[in-house]
A = this chain, B = another copy of it.
Amino acid sequence: MKKYDISIIKGDGIGPEIVDEAIKVLDAVSYSCGFSLEYKEYLMGGIAIDETGTPLPQETIDGVLNSDACLFGAIGGEKWDTLPRDLRPETGLLKFREAMEVYANLRPAIIYDELVNASTLKPEVIEGVDIMIVRELIGGIYFGKPRENDGFKAFNTMVYTKPEIERIGKTAFELAMKRDKRVCSVDKANVLEVSQLWRDTMEEIAKDYPEVELSHMYVDNAAMQLVRNPKQFDVIVTGNIFGDILSDTASMVVGSIGLLPSASTGDKTAIYEPIHGSAPDIAGQGIANPIATIESAGMMLRYSLGEMEAADKIDAAIKKALKDGYRTKDLAAYDAKEVVTTSEMGDIIANNI
């Protein structure tokens, strides 16, 4: 029987509850598909600060690097927001992404027919939306140097090199080949030199993918178009900060941030996590929506372990749960037949497998 080593980072806030449900579903699906998953837990974020004094212990880096894939909950909380910048949960997260060299952050935005009313956008605008946002994750202004704040003047550097743009561009074009073969590259080339290099490099990559149609859009227009007509997009590829903003916009197009998974991949271990945060305000109440994390586990099976059948089963199990009218509290207003707890939702999806 095939065996995979999965590193688990539960993190803070609702992190532990939602990861537990994803594990429940992973156990069900691995049993049903005949492979086995071995989990090892590591600390990161606020809980790591509290227990070890640093948001990202070396043990976590080593452990995750030695695993086949990493399932991640969420980190952060007000409690740690006043710590020096170096010790904050977010700093740990950024260092973690850097250490794992996960340069490509894939954020699919897909509408569930059952939840088309959960969006603030009109149903006819969003029905059938299926966007893959490919965000560069370990470059750009997040990591650029020099960076400084002397209390009078502060600055950051938005920087990209051609190889950095090439590898994320290739990821986007490869994904497009398996989808509708359209890549929209988002930048601000009418103002920024760094965007001009981005755009020129995308044009060069496009030559290797004659079947894929490449278009360019300024970031302000892209934000607008996501709200005006999200169906026009297939794959969107963009830099770190623009991707941060646009993928959150896209999540609202879909309607619930509780439904959106992500994969952060590179040449080493990939990380799978919901795009929502740690929501400390609702932690421990059993009302968090575990679906985004369960979907992330599905992405892990698909992209890191190549267990396609198992991944499909998870997708189908989630769809069935929604179709049968089960909703966590956040989605109670949308055709709920029964409002269930975090762990009940995990049970229902696991049972559907």
Q: 1/0 contact trace for A199-227 toward B, CB 8 Å?
A: 01000000000000000000111011001
A196 touches B245 (CB 8 A): no
Copy total for this chain: 2
Chain A interfacial residues counted at CB < 8 A: 56
A158 at the interface (CB under 8 A from B): yes
- Distance between A64 CB and nearest chain B CB, rounded to angstroms: 22
- With A155-B144, A249-B223 already in contact, the answer to whether A228 and B196 are too (CB < 8 A) is no
Of all chain B residues, which has the CB nearest A256? B228
A331 at the interface (CB under 8 A from B): no
A249 touches B228 (CB 8 A): no
A90 touches B190 (CB 8 A): yes
A251 at the interface (CB under 8 A from B): yes
B161 touches A158 (CB 8 A): no
- With A120-B125, A159-B153 already in contact, the answer to whether A223 and B197 are too (CB < 8 A) is no
A194 at the interface (CB under 8 A from B): yes
- With A224-B249, A227-B120, A248-B224 already in contact, the answer to whether A194 and B144 are too (CB < 8 A) is no
A334 at the interface (CB under 8 A from B): no
- With A155-B194, A161-B153 already in contact, the answer to whether A249 and B248 are too (CB < 8 A) is no
A82 surroundings in chain B (CB, below 8 A): none
Residue contacts A-B, CB under 8 angstroms, 17 given: A85-B196, A121-B122, A149-B196, A149-B197, A151-B162, A154-B193, A154-B198, A155-B158, A155-B160, A155-B194, A156-B157, A219-B241, A223-B249, A224-B248, A224-B251, A227-B253, A249-B249
